[in-house]
Amino acid sequence: MKKFYIALSVLLSVQLNAQISLSKQHFATKGDNERMSSASASSQVDLNTGADYVWDFSHLTAESQLVEEYGNISSLGAVAGLQFGSFAPNKYKASYFILNQDVPLQYLPSFLPITFSDYNNIMQLSADSLSLVGVTVSINGQSLPIRYSDIEAQFYFPVNYGDHYTTYGKFDQDMSPVYNAQWRQKREHEVDVDGWGKVTTPIGTFDALRIKHTIVEQDSIYASVSGFGMWFPLNVPTQVIYEWRTLEEKSPVVRIKANIVGGNEVVRSVQFRDNVILGTENLSEENLSVYPNPVENVLNISPGLFDKYKIMTIDGKLVLSGSVTNAVDCSQLNAGTYIIQLNADTMVKNITFVKR
């Protein structure tokens, strides 16, 4: 009987050790660059979960790559710096910004004369939470910083198996003088840490927590059309995001995004941490120019250092690729926001642009 209790104690100890707990130091912050590969959205993936579960994503194959850059607020300009920098109120002092790959303005009615790019989430990473405190977005070529009146916590620390909570965020923003319109947004974000166990990816096997995010977002724009002002709701689908997070990596080792369509989850992107394929060399804005942005037909690239390109939707789906000297024909793209990845032997650069 004594041996039985000893064995049981050892077994429970192993299981408890496998249930990792995540805190601030396990999340990326300013200055980090996390490379994510994108597999086909039709890849076979296991979305089941539970305690002491084993997930196998070792079969995932990269179709494209993005480097998620956790940027310094100061690089967004003086106005954003005042809103979210060191002189901002404590609740708005940001740790970093990151490109939002789920831009709601893509759902704007096409007849509204609004073009946008560079939609960034403004994040605050503290000892007790990771929160979305605002956004910046370039509208008709001018940058607009927006503070959330209700701040959405995306994680409360520590993150443990069994955590389950819902947080809310909203803003009501007059976009003048950038554009004569009003933008309202409300977000309901449910977080469910619904699994723990082992996850295997192309870069290894890890103890992991599985986190499910369900995000219901309501956006509407008030604008004048033909002299009449009216509200235009944006048909933003409910998002479901699955993340597998570990102690070793500061971003999810696997991230799967789905939209709710007709009551069903439809996977739209599969991303995973991968081994480095290309080196990254920083190019300053003074040295790299992609124009015009927005573009109708030909996107010019200067200087002509790159030999290959990939154009992806904002959720990582590859839509166009080829060789490039100093220009790319974008005339066949549908209107919307894209990311162009420029590649050379020793560098890779990702830039967001808008196709009219």
Q: Cβ–Cβ contacts within 10 Å for residue 276, how many?
A: 10
Q: Is 80 helix (H, G, I), strand (E, B) or coil?
A: helix
pTM for this model (two decimals): 0.77
Question: Topology of domain 289-355, per CATH?
Answer: Immunoglobulin-like (2.60.40)
The secondary structure of residue 327, as a DSSP letter, is: E
Q: How far apart are CA 313 and CA 295, in angstroms?
A: 15
Q: How far apart are CA 154 and CA 133, in angstroms?
A: 10
What integer pLDDT is reported at residue 287 of this predicted model? 56
What integer pLDDT is reported at residue 180 of this predicted model? 86
Positions in the chain short of pLDDT 50: 1-16, 278-286
How long is the chain?
A: 356
What integer pLDDT is reported at residue 345 of this predicted model? 54
- Residue 96's H or E segment, with its range, is strand 96-99
Residue with tokens 């997070």: 245
Q: Where are the domains of the chain?
A: 20-273, 289-355
What integer pLDDT is reported at residue 5 of this predicted model? 47
What integer pLDDT is reported at residue 276 of this predicted model? 54
Q: How far apart are CA 106 and CA 116, in angstroms?
A: 9
Contact at 8 Å (CB) between 111 and 174? no
**Residue range 138-193, pLDDT digits in tens:** 887 788 999 999 999 999 999 999 999 999 999 999 988 888 899 999 999 999 99
Residue 51: closest CA among 209, 244, 240 = 209
What integer pLDDT is reported at residue 53 of this predicted model? 98
What integer pLDDT is reported at residue 281 of this predicted model? 41
Phi and psi at residue 235, in whole multiples of 5°? -85, 70
Residue 208: closest CA among 154, 272, 152 = 272
Contact at 8 Å (CB) between 108 and 342? no
Contact at 8 Å (CB) between 342 and 301? yes
The sign one gets for the Cα dihedral 309, 266, 107, 333 is positive
